[in-house]
Amino acid sequence: MWYNSIIETIGDTPLIKLNNVTQGIKGTVLAKVEYFNPGNSMKDRMALKMIEDAEKEGVLKPGGTIIEGTSGNTGMGLALGAIAKGYKCIFTLADKQSQEKINILRAMGAEVIVCPTNVSPEDPRSYYSVAKKLNNDIPNSFYPNQYDNLSNGKAHYETTGPEIWEQTEGKITHWAAGVGTGGSMCGVSKYLKEQNSDIVSVGIDTYGSVFKKYKETGVFDETEVYPYLTEGIGEDILPKNVDFDVIDTFVKVTDKDGAIMTRRLAKEEGLFVGWSCGSAVHGALEYARENLKEDDIMVVILPDHGTRYLNKIYNDDWMKDHGFTDSKSFHTAKDIITSKNGKSQLYTISKDMKVGEAINILNREGISQMPVVDGDNFIGSINDQKLLHQLIENPELRDKSVGEIMDQPMTFVALDNTIDVLSSLIDKERKALLVRDEMNRVHIITQHDLLVSMMN
């Protein structure tokens, strides 16, 4: 027996029991290991589905160009389909993606355009916007848009879900997956819940993403959005493939916990997987410790292979530089606010306050900058140096409202971000950062705080 092309080998990936990282957990935890797909990730499934559905609809024609914004794995799946079917590919990636992913896509014949991570989705420089513009500019091109293309979720509804149901002989009780575009989590969950409505779906989110809070409150909170390093899960948008009705609960995982679990999976289970796989397992096990019973069976999907991350989490120096080790010598945002012994009180001003009043507060409290708020929302910031220059040019500004002259809001960071990450986020324009503690209180971290921490 042989296959007519590489795309015929997609699917039918194995379920493998986790034996060592699950110590102390009741029930059985099984991993759906998707690196057995030819492109080494679960994205092969939805990439092929999006191409074939576009062909049926006449959207993708012979000789066409596939243009997509991707974190790398979807691009690989689309590249495989393009090779088998004779299409060209152009992919846009955020600059936080690993160099391995970029190199692999280029090796598969794709053109790769790297875009900045820390810009809004609407920014013309974002990898979403660049992909859309290329689609508009290039004739006979197809923009799959994995975030909103419902063929993404259908691929997992039609293949991954049925495979898991059959492989567990219908005994699965819990389903866990990282949520990025939402296709695998929601497509599988929809299928499994149609077979047994009691199956619990656990979505794994990352700090800096909007999903968990949106599920719990129905509010899209922009203050939840801040830079994070984990690739492939979490979003600062709400993709159409994320169906919150089929996700029962979310667990958030830090960059560090996901990275450490990824290394553990390689060392203790022999599973050489990607970063989001470690995040998915860490979050799934957090839930399992409190909720799984002896006879329960949880399946967690492992999206991709470790070769995508050789220069990141599988590089000891990189792990050390980011504080992703068990060493206590790396100061984090949490360490900084803890070391202040309650002296990190955050002063804020309303957008409706007069500039002159804001200056009085800065002088009285001996501080150089403050966030601007509108109710509970952080919408901007001011700093004394810039105010001074503005007032010299136009003294009448003191009677204007702060909201009329404020700068961009300060960036929120994660509690476990280390000094090197924090320092990389502070520059000439952004002189301070904000962080929420475990009690949801907001603290400020300044350049001075970083210097003090580095000297200790």
| CATH number attached to the domain at 43-142 | 3.40.50.1100
What local confidence, expressed as pLDDT, does residue 306 receive?
Answer: 94
The whole-angstrom separation of Cα 111 and Cα 108 is: 9
Query: Can you name the residues that pair with 299 across neighbouring β-strands?
Result: 30, 175
What local confidence, expressed as pLDDT, does residue 329 receive?
Answer: 47
Contact between residue 146 and residue 152 where contact means Cβ atoms under 8 Å apart: yes
Domain 12-41+152-321 listed as CATH 3.40.50.10860? no
Helix, strand or coil, per DSSP, at residue 151: helix
What local confidence, expressed as pLDDT, does residue 343 receive?
Answer: 58
What local confidence, expressed as pLDDT, does residue 179 receive?
Answer: 97
Residue 22 Cα distances to 28, 164, 381, angstroms: 9, 20, 45
The whole-angstrom separation of Cα 152 and Cα 146 is: 6
Break the chain down into helix, strand, coil percent, rounded to 5: 40, 20, 40
Contacts with 21 (C-beta within 8 Å, 6 or more apart), sequence order: 261, 264, 265, 268, 269, 281, 285
431 catalytic residue (yes or no): no
| CATH number attached to the domain at 333-455 | 3.10.580.10
Contact between residue 86 and residue 109 where contact means Cβ atoms under 8 Å apart: no
Domain map (residue ranges) of the chain? 12-41+152-321, 43-142, 333-455
Amino acid at 348: T
Question: Nearest Cα to 384, choosing from 372, 370, 368?
Answer: 368
pTM reported for the whole predicted model: 0.74
Question: Length of the chain, please?
Answer: 456
Contact between residue 163 and residue 13 where contact means Cβ atoms under 8 Å apart: yes
Neighbours of 255 (CB within 10 A): 25
Q: Of 17, 26, 32, 43, which is the active-site residue?
A: 43
What's the alpha-carbon Rg for the chain, to the nearest Å?
24
Helix, strand or coil, per DSSP, at residue 357: helix
What local confidence, expressed as pLDDT, does residue 428 receive?
Answer: 64
Helices (H), 69-207: 73-85, 99-107, 127-137, 151-155, 161-167, 183-195
The whole-angstrom separation of Cα 211 and Cα 107 is: 34
What local confidence, expressed as pLDDT, does residue 326 receive?
Answer: 57
Fold matches, 12-41+152-321 and 333-455: no
The whole-angstrom separation of Cα 454 and Cα 456 is: 6
Tens-binned pLDDT, residue by residue, of the chain (456 aa): 899 999 999 999 999 999 999 988 999 999 999 999 999 999 999 999 999 999 999 999 999 999 998 878 899 999 999 999 999 999 999 887 778 888 989 999 999 999 988 777 788 999 889 999 999 999 999 999 999 999 999 999 999 999 999 999 999 999 999 999 999 999 999 999 999 999 999 999 998 899 998 999 998 888 778 778 888 899 888 999 999 999 999 999 989 899 999 999 999 999 999 999 999 999 999 999 989 999 999 999 999 999 989 989 999 999 988 888 754 445 788 888 888 765 556 889 999 999 888 888 888 888 888 999 988 788 888 888 888 888 888 888 888 898 888 888 888 887 777 776 777 677 666 778 888 887 778 888 888 888 887 666
Neighbours of 2 (CB within 10 A): 4
List, as one string, the DSSP characters of 287-336. Answer: HHHHH--TT-EEEEEE-BBGGGGTTTTT-HHHHHHTT-SS-S-S-BHHHH
List, as one string, the DSSP characters of 176-233. Answer: EEE-SSSHHHHHHHHHHHHH-TT-EEEEEEETT-SHHHHHHHS---GGG------SSS
